[in-house]
Amino acid sequence: MTTTRHLHPARPAGATGQRVTQARVVHSEWTKLRSVPSTAWSLLAAVVLIVGFGALYCVLRVTRPPTQPEAVAAFDPTAVSLTGVQLAQLAIGVLGVLLVAGEYATGTIRVSLAAVPRRLPVLWGKAIVFALTTLTLCLPATVAAFLVGQSILSAERLDISLSHPGVARAVFGSALLLSAVGLLGLGLGALLRSTAGAVAGLFGLLFGPQLLAGLLPAAWSDRIYPYLPVPAGAAVANVQPDSLALAPWTGFGLFCLYTAVVLALAAWQLRRRDA
């Protein structure tokens, strides 16, 4: 460190075109995402969780196959092979929180916002990069979990084919839902700025409404239940929806709407508040 060269001015003659654009900020956010090892490990862990936990649960079910006719009828081989998705949801949601709240914790956000003073491109850049990354990883992961799971279940002839009605939609829908939960976490991180607060907010949004709805009279809670975030989102990931659930894509659309509201609030706060 004792040798330091003097820096020559390096402003090129034609410095035009060097302006901040959304595409450049997306590129920058991609560099940020891939250059922190812990983020890469967390994403990998989510993939392992999806495939590994699904396979484990399938093995468990194969060793004790359903025998009663009703139990056989109710057995959902897709859901069994995708059990890991529910755990991965939490991991990816928390990672989404960390992606933004972590910048506030380290103070990096000031560097980011000084580079992009219009601010919103930073939030959109993070959201685009994270959504695409999680989707790129989770889509193959849910397909793999399904295929591995079915090959395990086939030992007891409990398996189902991807071409069976609703199955492909549930497998792809699970991956989409994972991305959406990630974005929800990211939005909460940007809105609340603190890791602890945003993780609490995420868990509160995912689990709180069902608990509260349970306190209401059954007639009311049955009516509200399908519109709560998790039941709405889960509609797209289930082959056999329960009788109360919304139609698969309606439910997923509603979940995306909730996420969009959180992101919009985060964007509004980002513009308004001091960094």
Partner 1 sequence: MIEAHGLTKQYGDKTAVDGLTFTVRPGVVTGFLGPNGAGKSTTMRLILGLDAPTSGSVTVNGKPYQQHAAPLREVGALLDARSVHPGRSAYHHLLALAQTCGIRRSRVDEVIDAVGLGEVARRRAGGFSLGMGQRLGIAAALLGDPATVILDEPVNGLDTEGIRWIRSLLQGLAAEGRTVFVSSHLMSEMALTAQHLIVIGRGRLIADTGMEEFVSRAEPGVVRVRSTDPAALAALLRSREVAVSEATDGALAVSGLSTDQVGRLAGGAGITLLELTAQQASLEEAFIDLTRDAVEFRAPMTGGAQP
Instruction: Provide the minimum distance between the beta carbon of 106 and partner 1 in the complex, in angstroms, as a whole number.
Output: 5
Which one of 15, 211, 215, 219 is in contact with partner 1 (CB under 8 A)? 15
Q: By CB under 8 A, tell whether 257 contacts partner 1.
A: no
Q: By CB under 8 A, tell whether 45 contacts partner 1.
A: no
Instruction: Provide the minimum distance between the beta carbon of 29 and partner 1 in the complex, in angstroms, as a whole number.
Output: 8
Cβ distance to partner 1 smaller for residue 6 or 157 = 6
User: Rounded CA gap, 84 and 141, in Å?
Assistant: 10
Which one of 52, 65, 66, 102 is in contact with partner 1 (CB under 8 A)? 102
Give me 43's structure tokens: 């994403």
User: Rounded CA gap, 149 and 181, in Å?
Assistant: 23
Q: By CB under 8 A, tell whether 268 contacts partner 1.
A: no
User: Rounded CA gap, 174 and 25, in Å?
Assistant: 28
Which one of 14, 19, 165, 243 is in contact with partner 1 (CB under 8 A)? 19
Largest Cα–Cα separation, the chain: 81
User: Rounded CA gap, 249 and 236, in Å?
Assistant: 6
User: Rounded CA gap, 182 and 130, in Å?
Assistant: 8
User: Rounded CA gap, 256 and 179, in Å?
Assistant: 10
Which of 57, 58, 51, 60 lies closest to 174 in space, CA to CA? Answer: 51
Instruction: Provide the minimum distance between the beta carbon of 101 and partner 1 in the complex, in angstroms, as a whole number.
Output: 12
Q: By CB under 8 A, tell whether 134 contacts partner 1.
A: no
Helix axis angle, 248-272 relative to 167-192, nearest 10°? 20
Which one of 13, 69, 114, 161 is in contact with partner 1 (CB under 8 A)? 114
Q: By CB under 8 A, tell whether 11 contacts partner 1.
A: yes
Contact criterion met (CB below 8 Å) for 167 and 242? no
Burial 123-137 (b: 16+ CB within 10 A, else e): bbbbbbbbbebbbeb
Q: By CB under 8 A, tell whether 37 contacts partner 1.
A: yes
Instruction: Provide the minimum distance between the beta carbon of 145 and partner 1 in the complex, in angstroms, as a whole number.
Output: 29
> Which residues ranging from 197 to 236 are in contact with partner 1 (CB under 8 A)?
none
Cβ distance to partner 1 smaller for residue 232 or 270 = 270
Q: By CB under 8 A, tell whether 4 contacts partner 1.
A: yes
Give me 56's structure tokens: 């484990």
Distance of CA 66 to the CA centre of its chain: 32
Instruction: Provide the minimum distance between the beta carbon of 137 and partner 1 in the complex, in angstroms, as a whole number.
Output: 19
Which residues of the chain form contacts with partner 1 (CB under 8 A)? 1-7, 9-11, 15, 17-21, 24-25, 27-29, 31-32, 35-39, 102-103, 106-108, 110-111, 113-118, 274-275
